[in-house]
Structures are given as C-alpha cells and as structure tokens.
A and B are shown apart, each in its own frame.
Chain A
Amino acid sequence: MEHLELFLKSIFIDNMVFATFLGMCSYLAVSKKVSTAVGLGAAVIFVLAITVPLNWLLDQYLLQPGALSWLGEEYAAYDLSFLSFIMFIATIATMVQLVEIVVEKFSPSLYNSLGIFLPLIAVNCAILGGSLFMQSREIATLGLATTYGIGSGIGWFLAILAIAAIREKIRYSNVPPALRGLGITFIITGLMAIGFMSFGGMLTGGDDEAAKETKSAQVDELNDTEKELANNTKVIE
C-alpha cells in the first residue's frame, strides 16, 4: 500500500515536470516528435530506476550523519553529507556510461532506440533531481527508493509524451508568429501543470493533505530547533 501510494504520488502529484520543473531542458528540446520523445522517456525511466536506489544506498551507508557507524564506533561521528552532490553526480555519470556499454553489448536493438539519448541523460536535471529529492524527502527503505525512481521516471515519460503529441498537432493551428515554437510550448506546459495540480487531493481527499503537511512541517521545525539546542549544549559542554 505504501508502495502504491508513493508510486501514484510520484507520477501525478509530484510530477517531475509539472510540479518541480525538472528535466525541462530536454523536455523542451526533444519533444518535437512523439517517437523521439518515447525513446528519451524510456531512457529516463531506466536510468532513474537504477540511480535512485543506488544513491539511496550511498546516502544511507556513506553520506548521512552517522552513516559510517557500520565501520565501527569511532566513525559514528562523521558527517559526509556535504559530499552528496559530487557523489551523486559521479554515480549518475558512471552508471549512465555503464548502462550504455551493457545495453550495447546485450541488446543492440534497445541500444539503437535509446542510444543517442543515454549520454544526454547524465546532465538531465530530472536524474540528479530524483536523487536529491530522495535524500531531502528521507525515503525510508531501498524498496521505496526504487518505487520512487520508477514512479518519477514514468511521470516524466508521461509529460514528454503528452507535450510531444500536442506539439505534433499544434503544427496545424494558427499560432501568433512570435509565440510559435518555444513560446506556445511554455504556455501549454503551464496549462498542463495547472491541470496536474488537480491531482493534489487524489490520495488523502482534498484539504486533509494540506493540513497534514503544515503539521509535519511544524514538527520538523520543532525537531530542528531541538537538534540545534542539543548541538548548542554540546558545544557549551
């Protein structure tokens, strides 16, 4: 149930493109034709499903405050979280390269359809964004991280597929010349994002969600102040 909830949430409510604007560059550049959009979308699902769980492991056992405690007591105090950007991006770049090599070796037909998009993906904000949101939303288990990765990927796929289909049709419409191409795409994406906002109440039934969120934010704040207090007392001691 938890998995299904996170899955639906990451596709519709926290949609990468419409809620957080991640991966917009390739979303705008590669959405002129449905067929290429499908290729890129599939590659994004693929790479997110691999990198999010992998970065979850890194975060859990290497980067978080106290994550190194499995090495022994004396390592428990280390906090390497400032390294997370560099670790995440290195993992992503390596994995993309690795995936490219493996796919080329074992499935030439898949390689031909994904091929040119894979290198593009290393610098797609959606991929790094997936890992960073996974970290900041404190996803609890490896399974959930995988679900989150796949869900976000599908959400992105859905978005690029939809805009590509619309752009193929809009070619036959009479758009004001200055808006043609990029301008109208922006505005359509904005309207689609407004549409996607209506999914917001899907899981909890409207206003409950908002109330819950503010509550948890307050609790977080309290926790933060508590932590700070604890730190301060430590310093004083």
Chain B
Amino acid sequence: MGLLSKKDAKLITDPLADNNPITIQVLGICSALAITAELEASIVMSISVLFVLGVGNVVISLMRNIIPSKIRIIVQLIVVATLVIIVDLVLKAFAYELSKTLSVFVGLIITNCIIMGRFEAFALGNGPWRSFLDGIGNAAGYGVILIIVGFFRELLGSGTLLGIPVLGDPIGTPETGPTGLYALGYENNGFMLLSPMALIVVGIIIWVQRTRNKALVEDH
C-alpha cells in the first residue's frame, strides 16, 4: 500500500484477525448477535457501525485536547448519539423495512462497547488520520464477524442469501416438486434462525480462530 505507511496499514489489518473486536477484545457483542439472522441486516449494521466509528473517531480525536477529562464520557456519548440519529433517519428514509427489522438495535449502536472502547483507547490519544484508520479497521473487523455469522445463519436457516434462494426451491411447482438440494431430501434448519444459535456460531468462530492461532488461547 503506497498510500499508507506500514504502521498505519497495521491499524486496519490488525483488528481484522488477531485483534478482532468481537472475538478477542470482546466488545460490541450485543448488537452483533441479535440482528444476524439475515445477511442483509448484518451488512447494513456493519456499514452503520463503520460510519459511526470512522466519523466519531475523527471528531473525538479533533476535540481530544479541549475535552475536560471528567466529563469525557458524556461528551463521547453525545457525539455517538448524534451520529446514530443521522444513521437512524437515513435508514428510515431509504430502507424503511430494514429499519423495522433492526428496530432498537440501531439505537443500541450508541452503547456499543466497540465505539466507546476505541474512543477511550485510541482517539483520545492520537491524531485524526490515524484515528480514522483505527475506526475503519475496527469497524471492519466487527463487520467481518457479523457477515460471517449472518451468512451461515441465513444459508442454513432459510436456504437463501440476501433473500435469493440458493439451495433450490423447497416447495416447487406441483409437477416437479422440490428442486435443487431439497429434491435430495435436504431440510432447512429453522433452529439457525433462533437467536441462541448466533451465540453458538460465534463460539465456533472463536474456536476455529484460536485453533489456528495458539497464541490467543486463554487459560480459563
């Protein structure tokens, strides 16, 4: 990457794998789990967080020298809340159905620990450009997990991706009967659509990740 120095590039690539906000830092789980039954909702949620964290990190970083440290939490919350209101209104205007699905979870981006965590840990101590990269990197790391979970839950739970059937038609026409995989007797696993499965899928992602990288293993 000619545009970024090596140190800056690390800010983006680190959170994608070995310092992932969800599986390693354990931040921002709340919203990650509740809305991942469909891939589309996961993608929209990731983009919203990308916007809020990228812009928020820059704003906080620009103000880092004038925020009195005693009231910094409230200042941070107000900055996030403003950005989230923008996201919420944009979603309501351009993707009304989707904003119904996401319901309160758009609002809960405010208390998404990733955001406050990055403000506290990075933006308060670094310049705007690096904070921006850090925000984008962490939001992307969050998005990757969300999209993986959403992908598997939608594929196994309803046999579709982004609402398009990919495994064939479970009912089909009266003449042909079910098509694709369903003709072989495959059934959708409705269980994947229930919320507890999100936890188990994330658990499995953590398992795979830590098996591949032994350095991340905790001792209880």
> Which of A's residues lie within 8 Å of B, judged by CB?
18-25, 28-29, 82-86, 89-90, 93-94, 119, 122-125, 127-129, 132-133, 136, 170-171, 175-187, 189-191, 193-194, 197
Contacts and interface: CB of A to CB of B under 8 A. Distances in A.
Contacts of A18: 196
A193 B207 CA distance: 20
B29 A21 contact: yes
Nearest to B33: A21
List 6 A-B pairs, minimum CB-CB distance, nearest first.
Answer: A181-B218, A190-B199, A186-B203, A193-B196, A178-B210, A24-B29
B110 A90 contact: no
Contacts of A193: 195-196, 199
16 contacts: A21-B34, A25-B28, A28-B29, A85-B107, A90-B77, A93-B73, A128-B107, A132-B104, A136-B104, A170-B220, A178-B207, A178-B214, A178-B217, A181-B218, A181-B219, A187-B200
Contacts of A29: 26
A133 B30 contact: no
Please report whether the interface of chain B is mostly helix, strand, loop or mixed according to DSSP: helix
A224 to B, nearest CB: 10
Contact of B207 (A83, A127, A183): A183
Contacts of B73: 93, 119, 122-123
A187 B26 contact: no
A31 B44 CA distance: 31
B111 A124 contact: yes
- Bin the interface of chain B by size: 35 or more
A186 B206 contact: yes
A80 to B, nearest CB: 12
Interface string B82-117: 101100110000000000000110011011110010
Contact of B206 (A122, A124, A128, A179): A179
A192 to B, nearest CB: 8
B202 interface: yes
Contacts of A123: 73, 77, 111, 113, 116
Interface of B: 23, 26-31, 33-34, 73-74, 77-78, 81-82, 84-85, 88-89, 103-104, 107-108, 110-113, 116, 194-200, 202-204, 206-207, 210-211, 214, 217-220
A119 B116 CA distance: 13
Given A19-B195, A132-B107, 17 more contacts: A18-B196, A86-B78, A86-B81, A90-B77, A93-B74, A122-B73, A125-B112, A129-B104, A132-B104, A179-B203, A180-B217, A183-B206, A186-B199, A186-B206, A187-B200, A189-B199, A193-B199
Contacts of B82: 86
B32 to A, nearest CB: 8
Among B78, B204, B220, the one with the most A-chain Cβ atoms within 10 Å of its Cβ is B220
Contact of A21 (B26, B74, B195, B211): B195
A55 to B, nearest CB: 12
A37 to B, nearest CB: 16
A85 B88 CA distance: 10
B113 A25 contact: yes
B220 A171 contact: yes
A83 B88 CA distance: 11
A132 B112 CA distance: 14
A84 B107 CA distance: 9
B88 to A, nearest CB: 7
Contacts of A185: 203
Nearest to B35: A21
Contacts of B204: 187
Contacts of A183: 203, 206-207, 210
B63 to A, nearest CB: 17
